[in-house]
Structure 1
Amino acid sequence: MSEHDSNPFTEPELSNPFQDPSVALARQTSTAMAAGLEEFNPFTDSKLTAMTSKPLLVAPGVPTQPAVMKPTEEPPVYSQPQAQETTGGASELLKRQEELERKAAELDRREREMQSLNVSGGRRNNWPPLPEKFPVGPCFYHDITVDIPVEYQKTVKLMYYLWMFHTGTLLANLVGALAWFGVDPTHGVDFGLAILWFLLFTPCSFVCWYRPVYGAFKSDSSFRFFLFFFVYICQLGIYVLQSVGIAGWGACGWISALMCLNTNVAAGVLMIMVAALFTSLAVMSLIMFKKVHTLYRTTGASFQKAQQELATGVMSNKTVQAAAANATSTAARGAFKEHI
């Protein structure tokens, strides 16, 4: 019983459990591992340092080039057209801006012109451009850039050039008729009528159809548009007759030119050139007639407006007002005398 009643913790071998050899060995191992982890530095590893310190060896015969990254995909197709579209839009905006600036400058110039005219007391006639010492002065004021709106200036300039071409053709017709009269004295009537047509149709064409179309675009007058259309249709018919060239009518047209060609080749060739001028004049006149008629339809003019403008113009005329006043006073006096 004494053996079982003894206290095992009082034995000297088991008095301190941490002095067990296995526990001490485990403690030493853990301490060594902890010390090794604390002192470990991967950047100072001897193997890594040796690898980095040695230069890289390149195989002989292999050229060394810098690495170049190549795109694996092509750029999208829509990128270039989109850039072109953007450039085209920018150029269109620049063109519009330049056009607006030009119109603004034109309006500014016209405003300054009108102000200067108001200060100077009115506009002075400047057409025809005659010398100052000439006994007869200019009869009209003619300035397309001042009187005509910007959108119609080109058309009015073309009509003015057409009138100058009309005058030059009549002058050439006069020369051709003179040549024909020189080779054949029996055609003196044609030469005399050619002089008459030049002296008559040159000023009449300016007053009867060019000035109406000039005033129509200047003031948007329906009455002047209708006056131009009526006179210009007659003028177009005259051009056709002159290009035909009936003998005895004073026009070097195709018939007259062929007749003169049998008499004299040089005079006949000159008359053929005049006939070609009359034909070209008729064709260009027809084109400009259509062009003016197209613009007329866009201005809002009408026959009713032409009637109103005519009535207003007649009633506002001082001569008509004076005649109406005289007629009214005469009728009133007659009625008063009858009552007396």
Structure 2
Amino acid sequence: MSGGFDSNPFADPEISNPFQDPSVTQVRQAAPPGLEEYNPFTDGKPTPGGVAPKTAAPTLNTQPAIMKPTEEPPAYSQSQEQSGAAAELLRRQEELERKAAELDRREREMQSLSASGGRKNNWPPLPEKFPVGPCFYQDITVDIPVEFQKTLKIMYYLWMFHTGTLLANLVGCLAWFCVDTSRGVDFGLSILWFLLFTPCSFVCWYRPLYGAFRSDSSFKFFAFFFVYICQFGVYVLQCIGIAGWGASGWISALTGLNRSVPVGIIMILIAALFTSLAVMSLIMFKKVHGMYRTTGASFEKAQQEFATGVMSNKTVQTAAANATTRAAQGAFKEQI
């Protein structure tokens, strides 16, 4: 038995090789060319007959692909709530800066007062040896809030322009009088207008506006508006230049042009100054009125300030006390 197990059936020459069977060799011959060279681990397709096998492509050291956007990302846009919050923060920051400037202004004012021992009049700026001293105290950067300083400075420069125009009008009327001796009345009135309107305009409308901005006084605002409307009417009349009224306006300039061309040209320039003065006055009137409406002033407050100011005046108090005493004495004598 052991001999049967030790024998190799394929080693017996009498037994034929199974791979040499005719059916197997027929199938191998009928197979497509190149199939015996097919290796599934190296190539996905068998190499056809008569074609050289493909060589493996050299490996490249490639880097990972990076996506590049074809369009720029949209700009960051804030929502309405974010923009509203930002605007609110800016408004609060401006308000804080305004208050800080106001506190700084008041601090400088207190320091100047303590250093000088009190307010001293500094306007008009006259020499120390001049027999007449300054009449008013004026310091726009100290007295006036920051938001009103620019407007008040413009009004101050407008008053200076008004004064210069009146002086030029005096010169124009003098030149007119030199070529036409019948214009003595115009020359005399031009002197009067220069001497009268220069201080009156400063006291009657510039100083009330200064005090209104400094103390937020409704009564001073109304005083300024009333006087300044009258001043604007005077500017219009001077711009027209009616003969005999002491103004080198357009009518007077054309009249003087007929007598002398140089004098007429001078008067035309003065008429242009009066015209520009009237236009700028109207513009500033509207601007001041707009600022007045933002301060919360009203006619009722003006009445209250007027009543309080009148009753707190010592002269009025003395006169009222005397009148009350006399009335009481008269009533007592009648009863007796």
TM-score greater than 0.5 by the shorter chain:
yes
Q: Which residue of 1 aligns with 2:43?
A: none
Partner SS state of residue 195, structure 2 = helix
1:156 to 152, 155, 161: 152
| Ranges in structure 1 where 5+ consecutive residues have no aligned partner | 1-10, 15-19, 23-57, 59-65, 83-88
Alignment correspondent of 2:81: none
| 2:163 aligned partner | 167
Match of 1:280 in 2: 276
1:302 paired with 2:298, answer yes
Q: 1:304 to 1:98 in 2, by over 3 A?
A: closer
Letter in structure 1 aligned against 2:323 = A
Encode CA deviations 1:91-148: one digit per residue, 9 max, x unaligned. Answer: xx99996996586356314313224314643211111111111111111111111111
CA distance in 1, matches of 2:76, 2:223: 57
Structure 2 CA distance, aligned partners of 1:184 and 1:242?
20
Q: Any gaps of 5 or more consecutive residues in structure 2?
A: 8-57, 79-84
Check whether the contact 1:103–1:150 (CA below 8 A) recurs between aligned residues. Answer: no
RMSD between superposed Cα atoms in Å? 3.3
Which amino acid in 2 is paired with 1:297? R
Q: Deviations over 1:227-252 (max 9, x none)?
A: 11111111111100000001110000
* 1:232 partner amino acid: Y
1:210 aligns with 2:206: yes
Asked if residue 121 in structure 1 is aligned to residue 117 in structure 2, the reply is: yes
How many residues get paired?
Answer: 279
User: Are the equivalent residues in 1 in contact too, given 2:108–2:142 (CA < 8 A)?
Assistant: no
Give the Cα–Cα distance (whole angstroms) in 2 for the partners of residues 305 and 98 of structure 1: 28
Do 2:155 and 2:284's aligned partners in 1 also have CA atoms closer than 8 Å?
Answer: yes
Matching of residue 311 in structure 1 with residue 307 in structure 2: yes
CA distance in 2: counterparts of 1:166 and 1:78, whole angstroms: 58
Task: Name the SS for the 1:211 alignment partner.
Answer: helix
Give the equivalent residue in structure 1 for 2:100.
104
State how far apart, in whole Å, the 1-side matches of 2:230 and 2:320 are: 34
Q: 1:198 aligns with which of 194, 202, 216?
A: 194
Query: Does 1:261 pair with 2:257?
Result: yes
| Alpha-carbon spacing, 1:329–1:98, altered in 2? closer, same or farther (3 Å) | closer
> Which amino acid in the other structure matches residue 147 of structure 1?
D
In the alignment, the residues of structure 2 paired with residue 228 and residue 183 of structure 1 have an alpha-carbon distance, to the nearest angstrom, of 40
Give the TM-score normalised by structure 2.
0.74
In 2, Cα distance between equivalents of 1:216 and 1:151: 13
Offset at 1:70? 6.8
Which letter does structure 1 place at the counterpart of 2:236?
V
Higher helix content, 1 or 2: 1
Cα distance, 1:108–1:230 mapped onto 2, change above 3 Å: same
Report the TM-score when normalising by structure 1.
0.73
Percent same amino acid at aligned positions? 76
Deviations 1:8-37 (A, max 9, x none): xxx9x69xxxxx989xxxxxxxxxxxxxxx
> Distance between the aligned counterparts of 1:196 and 1:250, measured in 2?
9
Distance 1:265 1:205, change over 3 A: same
Contact 2:98 2:146 in 1 (8 A): no
- Per the alignment, residue 174 of structure 2 pairs with 178
Q: Residues 103 and 190 from structure 1, CA distance in 2 versus in 1: closer, same or farther, beyond 3 angstroms?
A: same
Match of 2:20 in 1: none
Match of 1:333 in 2: 329
**Deviation readout 1:249-280 (Å, 9 max, x if unpaired):** 00000000011111111111000000000000
Taking the aligned partners of 2:101 and 2:295, their CA distance within structure 1 comes to 24
Confirm or deny: 8 A CA contact 2:101 2:146 kept in the other structure.
no
